[in-house]
Amino acid sequence: MTTPKTKTSTMELMLQIGKQAKDAARVMRNASDEQKSKALKKMAELLLESKQQIIEANKKDLQAAKEKKLEAPLIDRLTINENTINNMATGLCQIADMADPVGKRSETIIRPNGMMVAKMRVPIGVIGIIYESRPNVTIDAAALCIKSGNATILRGGSEAFHSNQALGEIILQGLRAAQLPEYAVQVVPTTDREAVGILVTMTDYVDVIVPRGGKGLIERLTNEASVPLIKHLDGNCHVFIDKDADIRKAHAIAINAKTYRYGICGTMETLLVHHEIAPAVLPDLCTDLVQKGVELRGCERTRNLVDHIQAAQETDWETEYLAPILAIRIVDSLDEALDHIAQYSSEHTESIVTENLNSALRFQKEVDSSSVYINLPTCFADGFEYGLGAEIGISTNRLHARGPVGLEGLTTEKWVLTGNGQLRGQ
Amino acid sequence: MTTPKTKTSTMELMLQIGKQAKDAARVMRNASDEQKSKALKKMAELLLESKQQIIEANKKDLQAAKEKKLEAPLIDRLTINENTINNMATGLCQIADMADPVGKRSETIIRPNGMMVAKMRVPIGVIGIIYESRPNVTIDAAALCIKSGNATILRGGSEAFHSNQALGEIILQGLRAAQLPEYAVQVVPTTDREAVGILVTMTDYVDVIVPRGGKGLIERLTNEASVPLIKHLDGNCHVFIDKDADIRKAHAIAINAKTYRYGICGTMETLLVHHEIAPAVLPDLCTDLVQKGVELRGCERTRNLVDHIQAAQETDWETEYLAPILAIRIVDSLDEALDHIAQYSSEHTESIVTENLNSALRFQKEVDSSSVYINLPTCFADGFEYGLGAEIGISTNRLHARGPVGLEGLTTEKWVLTGNGQLRGQ
């Protein structure tokens, strides 16, 4: 593998990768589940056997990262150790053992003329994955795409180049062992940034792009891409504590929603509280959140109720902090909470805490987000937690897949009609 | 209503329409099926009562069309008569009586921690429809969008301006009678072409565009749109007569697939025939097709078998004629047919004629088109024929809806999780 330097050669390289992927997709579409699972299990075996080589390749990336003085969290995400490799291998086996989504037929409808109409689940085709520093995405994304019968083009971050190439070698050997096409998974062999711009506009060869990374990456791709993206930009998630909430549940859910992890997209960023229950809930809750190191920014009524809270600005309602900061607003009614969410939410994940059936049902029906919860913390927004087995990402698109996207989100449906010589108009 | 003349005012107008649609969508999302059906039935009633006014408005358009010397088929499509109005009213009642897709929940999965995970079907939001001369699309599209709980922006052809405005007035009265928002359906009140370019880029207000019209329109919109399109560009459909075909079925299916109507997207444009059965099928079939006025263009082997057939060029395999022309190719095997289809098909609708189970199943599995048939003519590609009740269009997109798109294709799914205070990581 070579690393072309000029733009022309990057263009040629990417077009060649695209053509190879499209050809491989035709074979992958018809691969048996046995073959696909065999490839994944072989990869798991090879990963465990090749720990030393992978860690050596990763060291090159870590060395370069340290020379470039990359920040500690980035280096942390970049690092592969024995444990990372064990986890990748376990993940591969789990995905291998999942049910194959391909070929499933919906219930068949018999039309009056006797012809049978059904839908069949099929792979999307060629999926491009663009991601940043975590090299384990190379294995996870390849596994999900193989299992769902797609061909994949993987473009990881330049800082993980050597790690990703080493993992790509494992994937290649797994595909070979299962007699699947070598180009079913291609790790782009160049760090040229131009390759990304080409990948997201190759509409002849690439059916969908899944970007995984920070907001900067997603914004850039949204502007440049002509291939559809399965993506979310913001996770400005809300929890609403209704007047009929159970106070202990409300307390625990709010703490968990904010502090389970600060940096994930399902983290609660604004807490809405019904004014009737606010005096009973907020003082203790705020004390506990501050004790956990969370900075609070409240509306005026919140500040009248609890001391030492900064005044929230308009921008606070719009912000996904991804940090130990929480905006708090007291509202007069469920309707006011719904209005606030309609105005500020990023349509990712919202939750109501209530014991009132009507409020719960109204909230779940009327909130127009990809996930809407009753009595659960928003941090549950994750494919594993939903029982999808694994996720390729989370989508706030309105078309195709919304919320956590698993194997099924990497497939589509075609119509299959079966007749016996029926004619139209006769 | 006014017809602004400057670009600035068209931009302002469209943004206002967009904002109004987005507000209306929030109300429509929660409208009951009773309300939605009531609106449609009221429209049907008003259509029948207002025949004279509608036909008067249509006459203005017909007058202008004659002055502009538009072609006869275009004037034909533009014309509204009593019969057209009766059909629109019947269509409205049929859509009103269909099951509401909104609010349906998938089967609920209970996770190990007891939380319940399901999907709920919900409207997409704001749907833009861009169409050409047929004014009945105004009623049909509005009805499908109302029933599926969406807000709609309708932009018909300038040649049908007065007809569409008159129909828009009926829709408005129907919405009012059912206490639905007036802006749930907006007929764009300007003929400025600029309005289309603005509509397809208003990503803040419009969730999806369904274009209905000729290839020129679709190509223009594909290039200009940043809002996702539900569309198909070509219908280059194939029928493959397998060696194990029933000769009588093959003959009837091929005739029907080509001659049911020449101008619809499901019309067969290329016929592939297995060489073993070609001598038994092609001579009679070609005679009958020619007798019906179909011009035949064949490969060399076809021309050796049947006299007076033009030689097919490479471009013939790529062409959607939408005319009484058919390309014919003899192939050596099912695999060669699959290869031909993979290379030239527009992934719209393909069919195999065979009595052989394995060939049938392979074809239906391996052909990567939005509809794949066994022993049926491709001209069945239509929402009514599939039992969808009506269709907003046909899609060859790979994401979201493929094939004929009915009510369900105008909806999407969100995740709904219900718990009792479960926490993550505990």
Distance from C-alpha of A207 to C-alpha of A200, rounded to nearest angstrom:
10
Q: What pLDDT is recorded for position A329?
A: 98
Q: What is the distance in angstroms between the Cα of B383 and the nearest Cα belonging to chain A?
A: 11
Q: What is the distance in angstroms between the Cα of A257 and the nearest Cα belonging to chain B?
A: 8
Closest CA to B252 of B73, B375, B91, B71: B375
Q: Is B374 on the interface with A (CB under 8 A)?
A: yes
Look-up of token digits 């995970």? B117
Q: Is A355 on the interface with B (CB under 8 A)?
A: no
The secondary structure of B17-85 as a DSSP string is HHHHHHHHHHHHTT--HHHHHHHHHHHHHHHHHTHHHHHHHHHHHHHHHHHTT--HHHHHHH---HHHH
Each residue's pLDDT tens digit, A230-261 = 998 899 999 999 999 999 999 999 999 999 99
Distance from C-alpha of A380 to C-alpha of B416, rounded to nearest angstrom:
12
**Hey, what are A144's tokens?**
């999900």
Task: Give every residue of chain B whose pLDDT is below 50, as ranges.
Answer: 1-4
Q: What pLDDT is recorded for position B2?
A: 45
How is chain A split into domains, by residue range? 7-230+405-416, 237-380
Each residue's pLDDT tens digit, A382-424 = 999 999 988 999 999 999 999 999 999 999 999 999 999 999 9
Of A228, A403, A423, which is closest to B414 when you measure between CB atoms? A403
Q: What pLDDT is recorded for position A147?
A: 98
Chains A and B form CB pairs within 8 A to the count of 191
Q: How far is CA B104 from CA A364, A366, B32, B414, in A?
A: 13, 14, 13, 11
Structural class in CATH, domain B237-386: alpha beta
Look-up of token digits 């798991």? A44
ipTM of the complex: 0.93
Of B125, B373, B415, which is closest to A386 when you measure between CB atoms? B415
Please, which residues 195-214 of chain B have a Cβ atom closer than 8 Å to chain A?
207-208
Q: Angle CA(A307)–CA(A309)–CA(A313) in degrees, nearest 5?
A: 145
The secondary structure element, H or E, covering residue B89 is helix B82-97
Judge: A253–B423 Cβ closer than 8 Å, yes or no: yes
Q: What pLDDT is recorded for position B6?
A: 55
Q: How far is CA B94 from CA B39, B89, B390, in A?
A: 13, 9, 9
Residue A165 phi, psi dihedral angles, 5° rounding: -65, -40
Distance from C-alpha of A405 to C-alpha of A143, rounded to nearest angstrom:
14
- Chain B residues in contact with A26 by the CB 8 A cut-off are 342, 368
Reported as half-sphere exposure (CB side, CA atoms, 13 A), residue B303 has a value of: 12
Q: What pLDDT is recorded for position A6?
A: 55
Please, which residues 266-325 of chain B have a Cβ atom closer than 8 Å to chain A?
none
10 Å CB burial of residue A228 (0-12, 13-18, 19+) is buried
Task: Give every residue of chain A whose pLDDT is below 70, as ranges.
Answer: 1-7
- Chain A residues in contact with B228 by the CB 8 A cut-off are 228, 399
The secondary structure element, H or E, covering residue B339 is helix B334-344
Judge: A386–B417 Cβ closer than 8 Å, yes or no: yes
Q: Is B424 on the interface with A (CB under 8 A)?
A: yes
How many other C-beta atoms are found inside a 10 Å radius of the C-beta of residue A315?
A: 9
Contact B85, B48 (CB under 8 A): yes
Closest CA to B16 of B28, B8, B26: B8
Structural class in CATH, domain A7-230+405-416: alpha beta
Mutate to test the interface with B, among A231, A417, A422, A426 (most CBs of B within 10 A): A417
Q: What is the distance in angstroms between the Cα of B162 and the nearest Cα belonging to chain A?
A: 33
Contact A156, A127 (CB under 8 A): no
Q: What pLDDT is recorded for position A1?
A: 43
Distance from C-alpha of A139 to C-alpha of A152, rounded to nearest angstrom:
11
Q: Encode chain A in three state secondary structure.
A: CCCCCCHHHHHHHHHHHHHHHHHHHHHHCCCCHHHHHHHHHHHHHHHHHCHHHHHHHHHHHHHHHHHCCCCHHHHHHHCCCHHHHHHHHHHHHHHHHCCCCCCCECCCEECCCCCEEEEEEEECCEEEEEECCCCHHHHHHHHHHHHCCCEEEEECCHHHHHHHHHHHHHHHHHHHHCCCCHHHEEECCCCCCHHHHHHCCCCCCCCEEEEECCHHHHHHHHHHCCCCECCCCCCCEEEEECCCCCHHHHHHHHHHHHHCCCCCCCCEEEEEEECCCHHHHHHHHHHHHHHCCCEEEECHHHHHHCCCCEECCHHHHHCCCCCCEEEEEEECCHHHHHHHHHHHCCCCEEEEECCCHHHHHHHHHHCCCCEEEECCCHHHCCCCCCCCCCCCEEECCCCCCCEEECCHHHEEEEEEEECCCCCCCC
**Hey, what are B260's tokens?**
């049911």
Which architecture, in CATH terms, is A237-380? 3-Layer(aba) Sandwich (3.40)
